[in-house]
């Protein structure tokens, strides 16, 4: 369980408030107009964006001031964050240890994750020798080896074509189902919400609203969401 207790996040003139509880193992879509603060919210959960007020809990543990690396979550960014000078194997290994001094058991975990995402035969290549979809798979393998209870995705596959994007979203769904992780995903695509999300967090007018069941909300959206969906 992830509890956002009276969170206030400020970035320059921008302010965002959030107060909600997210249940572990559920899939949440974060939607709302451009500039509403979706990325800011995920950044604050991960510890990349400081909080102006409020407290954050994972279960009974307070993580308000925990370093990003010590939080029970891992974030996948739109650009995949792969280092061009490292091999795919090393890039994924970074998810376990930043100095890459891996034990044989850890190396085996990295290889297994790469096999799981379909890159078993691409491990020694550098990221720029991979296609966009393969790079996304490598980034997912790194999320997988970290084995954190929450996976946060900030429009991760927006740069891919529709078919590949669907394929990647399907893979994400399978991975979170296999690991039991909770998913919090920023998306602009209503069809992603319908296909993937159990619940929706709508961000607008300076607030991240508490999650609501996706199917009912999308079928009968309140005015602000309706305006956004068009
Ligand atoms: N580093 C920063 N300093 C000051 N303001 C910022 C910073 N980063 C973002 N903002 C502002 O915070 C607000 C929310 O931005 P954010 O990127 O979270 O929105 P978003 O909902 O994710 O938008 P999009 O859908 O376009 O990605 C915007 O008004 C933006 O200008």
Task: Please give the domain boundaries of the chain with CATH numbers for all domains.
Answer: 1-72+186-230 (3.40.50.300)
Residue 84 has pLDDT above 90, yes or no: yes
DSSP 63-128: -TT--GGGSSEEEE-TTTT--TTS-HHHHHHTTT-TT----HHHHHHHHHHHHHTT-TT-TTS-GG
Q: Which residue's alpha carbon is nearest to atom 25 within ligand 1?
A: 34
- The percentage of residues in the chain with a pLDDT greater than 90, rounded to a whole number, is 77
Q: Separation of 187 CA from ligand 1 center, angstroms?
A: 15
What's 158's DSSP letter? T
Q: Check if the beta carbon of residue 115 is closer than 8 Å to that of residue 121.
A: no
ipTM for the predicted complex comes to 0.95
Averaged pLDDT for residues 203-211: 95
The residue behind tokens 């091999």 is 87
Does the pLDDT of residue 165 top 80, yes or no? yes
| β-sheet bridge partners, residue 61 | 58
What is the mean predicted confidence (pLDDT) over 43-55? 95
Question: Three-state DSSP class for 2?
Answer: strand
Shortest-distance Cα residue to atom 6 of ligand 1: 11
Task: Name the strand (E) or helix (H) holding 180.
Answer: none
Q: Alpha helix locations (H) across the chain?
A: 38-46, 88-93, 104-116, 132-146, 162-179, 190-196, 214-219, 223-229
For the cut 80, the answer to whether the pLDDT of residue 58 exceeds it is: yes
Residue 40, ligand 1, Cβ within 6 A: yes
User: Hey, what are 170's tokens?
Assistant: 């399907």
Residue 140 has pLDDT above 80, yes or no: yes
Residue matched to tokens 């991979």: 130
Q: What is the pLDDT of residues 4-19, one digit of tens each?
A: 999 999 998 999 999 9
Q: What pLDDT does 217 receive?
A: 86
Q: Residue 87 pLDDT > 80, yes or no?
A: yes
| Predicted pLDDT of residue 161 | 85
CA neighbours closer than 13 Å in the CB half-sphere of residue 161 = 4
pLDDT on residue 151: 95
Tell me the average pLDDT across 26-45: 95
**Residue 157 reports pLDDT greater than 90:** no
Question: Does 81 score more than 90 pLDDT?
Answer: no
* Ligand 1 pocket check for 133: Cβ under 6 Å: no
| Span from the CA of 153 to the centroid of ligand 1 (angstroms) | 16
Q: Of ligand 1's atoms, which has the minimum distance to the CA of residue 37?
A: 18
Give residue 189's pLDDT. Answer: 86
Band (227; pLDDT cuts 50, 70, 90): confident
Does the beta carbon of 187 lie inside 6 Å of ligand 1? no
**Ligand 1 pocket, residue 180 CB under 6 Å:** no
């Amino acid at each position: 369980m992830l509890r956002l207790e009276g969170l206030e996040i400020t970035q320059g003139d921008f302010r965002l408030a959030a107060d909600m509880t997210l249940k572990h193992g559920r899939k949440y879509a974060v939607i709302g107009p451009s500039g509403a603060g979706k990325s800011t919210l995920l950044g604050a959960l991960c510890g990349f964006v400081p909080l102006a007020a409020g407290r954050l809990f994972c279960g009974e543990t307070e993580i308000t001031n925990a370093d990003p690396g010590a939080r029970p979550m891992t974030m996948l960014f739109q650009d995949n964050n792969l280092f061009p000078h490292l091999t795919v194997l090393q890039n994924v290994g970074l998810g376990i240890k930043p100095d890459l001094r891996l034990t044989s058991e850890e190396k085996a975990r990295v290889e297994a994750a790469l096999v799981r995402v379909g890159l078993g035969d691409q491990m020694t290549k550098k990221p720029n020798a991979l296609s966009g979809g393969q790079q996304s798979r490598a980034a997912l393998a790194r999320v997988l080896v970290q084995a954190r209870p929450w996976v946060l995705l900030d429009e991760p596959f927006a740069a891919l074509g529709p078919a590949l994007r669907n394929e990647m979203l399907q893979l994400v769904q399978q991975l979170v189902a296999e690991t039991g992780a909770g998913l919090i995903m920023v998306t602009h695509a209503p069809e992603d919400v319908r296909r993937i999300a159990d619940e929706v967090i709508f961000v607008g007018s300076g607030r991240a609203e508490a999650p609501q069941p996706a199917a009912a909300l999308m079928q009968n959206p309140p005015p602000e969401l309706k305006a956004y969906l068009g």
